[in-house]
Amino acid sequence: MNNDKAYMDCAILMAEHSRCKRAHVGAVIAVDNKIIGMGYNDSPENFPTCEEDGCMIIDGHCQRTEHGELSALKECLRKQKDVKGATVYVTHQPCFYCTKFMLGLGLKEVVFLNRYPDERTPKAFYMMLPTYELSKLTSERKRYLG
Protein backbone atom coordinates (compact mmCIF):
# COMPACT_ATOMS: atom_id res chain seq x y z
CA MET A 1 0.00 0.00 0.00
CA ASN A 2 1.46 3.38 -0.96
CA ASN A 3 1.66 6.23 1.55
CA ASP A 4 -0.89 8.36 -0.31
CA LYS A 5 -3.57 5.71 0.20
CA ALA A 6 -2.61 5.09 3.84
CA TYR A 7 -2.67 8.79 4.72
CA MET A 8 -5.93 9.35 2.84
CA ASP A 9 -7.48 6.39 4.66
CA CYS A 10 -6.55 8.15 7.94
CA ALA A 11 -8.15 11.38 6.68
CA ILE A 12 -11.33 9.45 5.82
CA LEU A 13 -11.42 8.03 9.35
CA MET A 14 -10.95 11.52 10.81
CA ALA A 15 -13.87 12.79 8.71
CA GLU A 16 -16.17 10.41 10.57
CA HIS A 17 -15.78 12.59 13.69
CA SER A 18 -17.27 15.66 12.00
CA ARG A 19 -20.54 16.98 13.42
CA CYS A 20 -21.37 19.15 10.40
CA LYS A 21 -24.54 17.93 8.70
CA ARG A 22 -23.42 19.18 5.30
CA ALA A 23 -19.97 17.71 4.80
CA HIS A 24 -17.62 15.44 6.73
CA VAL A 25 -14.04 16.47 6.00
CA GLY A 26 -10.90 14.92 7.44
CA ALA A 27 -7.27 15.95 7.07
CA VAL A 28 -3.85 14.48 7.83
CA ILE A 29 -0.52 16.32 7.69
CA ALA A 30 2.57 14.22 7.06
CA VAL A 31 6.26 14.95 6.68
CA ASP A 32 9.19 12.52 6.36
CA ASN A 33 6.76 9.55 6.37
CA LYS A 34 5.29 10.55 9.74
CA ILE A 35 1.87 11.96 10.60
CA ILE A 36 2.33 15.18 12.55
CA GLY A 37 -1.27 16.39 12.65
CA MET A 38 -4.83 15.21 12.08
CA GLY A 39 -8.17 17.00 12.16
CA TYR A 40 -11.73 17.25 10.90
CA ASN A 41 -14.25 19.98 10.28
CA ASP A 42 -16.12 20.91 13.42
CA SER A 43 -17.14 23.94 15.43
CA PRO A 44 -14.42 25.59 17.51
CA GLU A 45 -14.31 24.50 21.14
CA ASN A 46 -17.10 26.04 23.25
CA PHE A 47 -19.14 27.01 20.17
CA PRO A 48 -22.45 25.41 19.16
CA THR A 49 -22.12 22.62 16.60
CA CYS A 50 -24.13 22.07 13.43
CA GLU A 51 -25.86 19.21 15.24
CA GLU A 52 -26.97 21.60 17.98
CA ASP A 53 -27.84 24.78 16.06
CA GLY A 54 -27.80 23.74 12.40
CA CYS A 55 -25.36 24.71 9.70
CA MET A 56 -24.64 28.41 9.19
CA ILE A 57 -24.64 28.67 5.37
CA ILE A 58 -23.09 31.76 3.81
CA ASP A 59 -22.22 31.82 0.08
CA GLY A 60 -22.99 28.10 -0.15
CA HIS A 61 -20.55 27.06 2.60
CA CYS A 62 -21.08 26.22 6.28
CA GLN A 63 -19.39 28.93 8.32
CA ARG A 64 -20.06 27.34 11.72
CA THR A 65 -17.17 24.89 11.37
CA GLU A 66 -13.42 25.15 11.16
CA HIS A 67 -12.16 23.27 8.14
CA GLY A 68 -10.38 19.94 8.54
CA GLU A 69 -7.08 21.35 7.27
CA LEU A 70 -7.17 24.15 9.84
CA SER A 71 -7.97 21.66 12.60
CA ALA A 72 -4.96 19.52 11.61
CA LEU A 73 -2.72 22.62 11.43
CA LYS A 74 -3.87 23.66 14.90
CA GLU A 75 -2.87 20.24 16.22
CA CYS A 76 0.60 20.72 14.70
CA LEU A 77 0.84 24.11 16.40
CA ARG A 78 -0.18 22.67 19.77
CA LYS A 79 2.48 19.96 19.38
CA GLN A 80 5.02 22.55 18.14
CA LYS A 81 5.51 20.64 14.87
CA ASP A 82 6.95 22.52 11.88
CA VAL A 83 4.72 22.07 8.83
CA LYS A 84 7.15 23.55 6.32
CA GLY A 85 7.64 20.99 3.56
CA ALA A 86 4.74 18.82 4.73
CA THR A 87 1.97 17.25 2.64
CA VAL A 88 -1.70 17.69 3.53
CA TYR A 89 -4.07 14.83 2.75
CA VAL A 90 -7.67 16.01 2.84
CA THR A 91 -10.92 14.30 1.89
CA HIS A 92 -12.22 17.41 0.08
CA GLN A 93 -10.45 19.96 -2.06
CA PRO A 94 -9.32 22.90 0.11
CA CYS A 95 -11.10 26.25 -0.11
CA PHE A 96 -9.46 29.53 -1.06
CA TYR A 97 -8.73 30.53 2.54
CA CYS A 98 -7.21 27.19 3.54
CA THR A 99 -5.11 27.10 0.36
CA LYS A 100 -3.83 30.62 1.03
CA PHE A 101 -3.06 29.76 4.65
CA MET A 102 -1.19 26.58 3.68
CA LEU A 103 0.82 28.50 1.08
CA GLY A 104 1.84 31.00 3.73
CA LEU A 105 2.99 28.24 6.09
CA GLY A 106 5.23 26.66 3.46
CA LEU A 107 3.45 23.35 2.98
CA LYS A 108 4.85 21.35 0.06
CA GLU A 109 1.70 19.93 -1.51
CA VAL A 110 -1.96 19.00 -1.12
CA VAL A 111 -3.59 15.68 -2.00
CA PHE A 112 -7.40 15.56 -2.00
CA LEU A 113 -10.00 12.90 -2.72
CA ASN A 114 -13.25 14.75 -3.57
CA ARG A 115 -13.55 17.84 -5.71
CA TYR A 116 -15.05 20.83 -3.95
CA PRO A 117 -13.93 23.72 -6.17
CA ASP A 118 -13.81 27.23 -4.78
CA GLU A 119 -14.07 29.75 -7.60
CA ARG A 120 -12.24 32.31 -5.43
CA THR A 121 -9.00 30.31 -5.61
CA PRO A 122 -6.69 31.76 -8.29
CA LYS A 123 -5.22 29.16 -10.64
CA ALA A 124 -1.77 30.50 -9.75
CA PHE A 125 -2.20 29.09 -6.23
CA TYR A 126 -2.27 25.58 -7.72
CA MET A 127 1.09 26.25 -9.38
CA MET A 128 2.62 27.61 -6.16
CA LEU A 129 1.17 24.83 -3.97
CA PRO A 130 1.11 21.63 -6.07
CA THR A 131 -2.33 20.06 -5.68
CA TYR A 132 -3.27 16.52 -6.66
CA GLU A 133 -6.55 14.65 -6.94
CA LEU A 134 -6.25 11.07 -5.72
CA SER A 135 -8.08 8.44 -7.75
CA LYS A 136 -10.63 6.54 -5.65
CA LEU A 137 -10.06 3.42 -7.75
CA THR A 138 -6.31 3.29 -8.28
CA SER A 139 -4.93 5.68 -5.62
CA GLU A 140 -2.93 7.39 -8.36
CA ARG A 141 -2.30 11.13 -8.23
CA LYS A 142 -3.45 13.49 -10.97
CA ARG A 143 -2.19 17.08 -10.96
CA TYR A 144 -5.03 19.56 -10.39
CA LEU A 145 -4.60 22.96 -12.04
CA GLY A 146 -7.96 24.57 -11.26
Q: How many CB atoms lie within 10 A of CB 34?
A: 9
Enumerate the H helices of 16-91 as residue ranges: 50-53, 68-78
Angle of helix 68-78 relative to helix 96-105, nearest 10 degrees, comes to 30
State the virtual CA torsion across 92, 98, 100, 106 in degrees, nearest 10.
-90
Under a CB-based contact definition with an 8 Å cutoff, are residues 35 and 7 in contact?
yes
Quote the CA–CA distance of 52 and 112 in Å, as a whole number. 29
Quote the CA–CA distance of 43 and 46 in Å, as a whole number. 8
Selected catalytic residue, list 16, 69, 109, 133: 69
Active site residue 66: no
CA triplet 82, 92, 14: central angle to 5 degrees? Answer: 65
Residues involved in catalysis: 69
